[in-house]
Structure 1
Amino acid sequence: MSEPIVVGTDGSPAAGRAVEWAAAEAARYGRGLRIVHAGDRRHGLPAGLPPETAEAISPRGREILDGAARAARAARPDLEVTTELVPEPPVRALREESARAFEVVVGHRGLGGFTGLLLGSTGLGVADRAEGPVVVVRGGLGDGAGAGAGVGAGPARNEVVAGIDLTEFSAVVLEYAFEAAARRSARLRIVHAAPVIETIIEAGHAAAAAETDEVVRETVAEFATPWREWHPGLELVEAVPLVHPVQALVDASREAVLLVTGAHERAPRRSARVGSVAHGVIHHAACPVAIVHPRG
């Protein structure tokens, strides 16, 4: 349990929401919170400086970190909070942090050290190559404000959504999603979009479509079986919507506190990059999004 929750901050409002969400997540998992502000030549720090030198010559970075730490401790007084000013470009800093973290948390938009994270080709580098989960806190507070609260949600909103593609990479998504739901006492909705069934129906082959639907649903259930046995009290829903995966997950996110998906589809680990589905939900989901990478 030594791996902390790491959150990147640049002092922006979006980063502040990410810090609050990460503090709640650290408390939920019984882990420490590590708050990181990255600086490089673009932000007034030469790359490669020792941390103590970077701290000494970047009062603004220290101010940002101190403010974030105060906010985290105010929200979660018992939380172990550490901070560090990292003299590296932001994407590189968070990639390196991810190797030693339980998960990395970032806001959807930024102003300074994490400007534009996950909005363009540069920012997507964090999710492309991170080790383990990267959580993008979209919109409001997500469920950081308390169990069951979501972006613009009322008290009844308490569902974790897991999007799976029925490849071997679905295992890491389900492992993370089942634990996330259990920690929140939330319902877990497993979604596998199968638009091909709608195509078969439109082609006039209703019997074949029904058979395909049955096979897909059985396969989804089989994928979930090991984790269902480990979490016997968890409420579980399995859905096979007949629409594009991005639409299916974005629709499901409107009732969710967290959406979990894999980093890539049908790609070898050595070329792991955020695929089109993860990219789409990062930009359009109505709740925080966890992009889960296999480790190693």
Structure 2
Amino acid sequence: MIVVGVDGSVPGRAAVDWAASDAVRLHVPLRIVHAVDRMPHQVARFPNPDQPDSLRRAGQKVLNEALALVHERQPAVEVGTRLVEGSPASVLREEARTAAELVVGSRGLGGLAGALLGSVSDHVAGHAEGPVVVVRGVPRPVHGHVVVGLDGSPGCEPALTYAFRQAALRGSVLHAVHAWTLPPQRFGIETPHEMDDLRACGLALLSSLLETFKKEYPQVKVVEEVPYAAPVKALSRAADKADLLVVGSRGRGALGSALLGSVSRGVLHHAGCTVAVVRPASR
């Protein structure tokens, strides 16, 4: 099952559209979830006793609108709705435990106008189990490319599994990117020969990571790139002409206790396309 969180925002509607399309591709049901968060209203100096009912009515309206959108765009999808009391981040984290994929808009109604990522999407991308797809609300042309960022860490395998499957289902080209830079102490002393050797090492790493998946998905065309650039910059640039960017939740440079690495957090804030953060499910 795919779960999509909605709040009535433009990115939220885009998330519903994305989730419904993915449900068709994966042949799975869709659940639309809206969280009714009473806490911000309960701390008011003069709380309104009718507030809970009005919040539930507003939430049901959001769900009904999302349901109508699914019926309009993807009428064959088996879809249901769920109105849950609690903070949106906590509710969606719990929903993700039993979902094949959690889809959210990049920012909600409370987000800053210029922000690419809201607090709820930031939280669930860093904490929820399994793949979390963060959908932008701005319409984009279809490019037919899926980008996956790879660094050789253990988190690469779940990201590759997700990326290859998405590319196969969409009939898209898979663009595998391993960005690299020199350690700070090495700047200024590298030679062309050393740079070529390092680039060759990057290509060898990509080749070893992709080998098994290429055999499993022979229909997917794969483009390999090892740019000399900071990972966030390289992946954000590749995302400019992609429909989806896939990254692991944290890579080699992340602290053991970190739930979201600097690269995955960076692309969530800077990449222009939809981003999937893939964490191994613990269930």
Shorter-chain TM-score range: 0.7 to 0.9
| Residue 145 (structure 1) aligns with | none
State the distance in 1 between where 2:233 and 2:187 align: 19
* 1:60 CA drift (Å): 1.1
* Letter of the structure 2 residue corresponding to residue 101 of structure 1: A
Change (3 A) 1:111 1:272: same
CA contact (8 A) 2:105 2:121 kept: no
CA contact (8 A) 2:3 2:19 kept: yes
- Does 2:237 align with 1:241? no
**What is the TM-score normalised by the length of structure 2?**
0.88
Among 162, 166, 169, which residue is 2:148 paired with? 162
CA contact (8 A) 1:55 1:85 kept: no
- Does 2:262 align with 1:263? no
CA contact (8 A) 1:261 1:291 kept: yes
CA contact (8 A) 1:34 1:82 kept: yes
Among 73, 79, 93, which residue is 2:77 paired with? 79
The size of the alignment, in residue pairs, is 272
- Does 2:195 align with 1:213? no
- Does 2:8 align with 1:11? yes
Deviation sequence 1:161-208 (CA, Å, 0-9, x none): 000111111111111100010000000000010122999684242212
Change (3 A) 1:194 1:112: closer
* 1:57 CA drift (Å): 7.2
Deviation sequence 1:238-284 (CA, Å, 0-9, x none): 10010100000000001101000011123789735111111111111
State the distance in 2 between where 1:225 and 1:175 align: 12
% identical equivalent positions: 39
Q: Which moved more, 1:92-101 or 1:200-209?
A: 200-209
* Letter of the structure 2 residue corresponding to residue 61 of structure 1: G
- Does 2:166 align with 1:180? yes
Which structure 2 segments of 5+ residues have no match?
A: 44-51
| Residue 132 (structure 2) aligns with | 134
Deviation sequence 1:96-120 (CA, Å, 0-9, x none): 011110111111111169xx99434
CA contact (8 A) 1:200 1:209 kept: no
CA contact (8 A) 1:263 1:272 kept: no
CA contact (8 A) 2:127 2:259 kept: yes
Other structure's SS at 1:34 match: strand
* Letter of the structure 1 residue corresponding to residue 10 of structure 2: P
State the distance in 1 between where 2:116 and 2:97 align: 18
**What is the TM-score normalised by the length of structure 1?**
0.84
* Letter of the structure 2 residue corresponding to residue 119 of structure 1: G
CA contact (8 A) 1:191 1:249 kept: yes
| Residue 97 (structure 2) aligns with | 99
CA contact (8 A) 1:107 1:117 kept: no
Change (3 A) 1:201 1:207: farther
Change (3 A) 1:77 1:132: same
Other structure's SS at 2:241 match: coil
Among 214, 231, 236, which residue is 1:250 paired with? 236
Among 266, 272, 276, which residue is 1:286 paired with? 272
Change (3 A) 1:138 1:117: closer
